[in-house]
Amino acid sequence: METERRDLDSFDENQSLKVIKEMIQVSQKRLKNNGILFILWGWVSFLIYLFEFFVKSIPHTYQVTMFKAYITIALMIFGIAFTLIYLIRKSRKATTYIGIALRYIWVSMCICMVLINLIQFNVLHKITFELQLPIYMVLVSFALVATGAILRYKMIIAGGIIFGLMAYFASFFSLQQQLLIESIAWVIAFIIPGHVLYTKRKD
């Protein structure tokens, strides 16, 4: 009886490990397909922050400021619309627990960004963008490292770590320089890994 129980426990443990391994492999495959989202948000964020940097670096008129605002809004709307349509289409397929966990990580990150602004305004009675930008980068860094760790992708983990280090580096500079640093960080942590993942999607 004890032997049968041990065999059953061993079988259950081995089966559980096998299921977890298969879930990770499925999620890794989907992440390669979803590399398009890394590319999308990498380019959207890169363009927004780089354009903001250039606008702040040169004398500009009210019209330029409004043009910059319209471009930013247009890019954000495009990014959100594309992401929602893409995820809705993909959601028709079976979703693993790991996939659900990753969605919670990124949704939680966005909620935390909103809470940070609310807390900052409640305490300081204003939004200090020189503080906001590095903190936002730290949250993105955490989400990247967590995603890479769950899926065992060293490139994403490395990108998240670099993103976090650049957040600390950015805190030593003014908002103008922070914008340039963050735009570069999006290239390193999102655009490059996104293109690499997307090219491997058929492997």
Tell me: the pLDDT tens digits for 16-38? Answer: 544 445 454 544 455 555 578 88
Per the CB < 8 A criterion, the answer to whether 148 and 15 are in contact is no
42-75: pLDDT as tens digits: 999 999 999 999 888 887 777 878 888 899 999 9
The whole-angstrom separation of Cα 100 and Cα 7 is: 32
Which residue reads 């627990």 in tokens?
A: 97
> What is the number of other CB atoms lying within 10 angstroms of the CB of residue 139?
18
Instruction: Give dist(CA 35, CA 158) in Å, integer.
Output: 16
Per-residue pLDDT of 125-182, as tens digits, reads 888 999 999 999 999 999 999 988 888 888 899 999 999 999 999 999 999 999 999 9
| pLDDT higher than 70, residue 92 | no
pTM greater than the 0.85 cutoff: no
Distance from C-alpha of 137 to C-alpha of 125, rounded to nearest angstrom: 22
Ramachandran area for residue 81 (φ above 0: left; ψ -120 to 50: alpha; else beta):
alpha
Give the H or E element holding residue 112.
helix 97-124
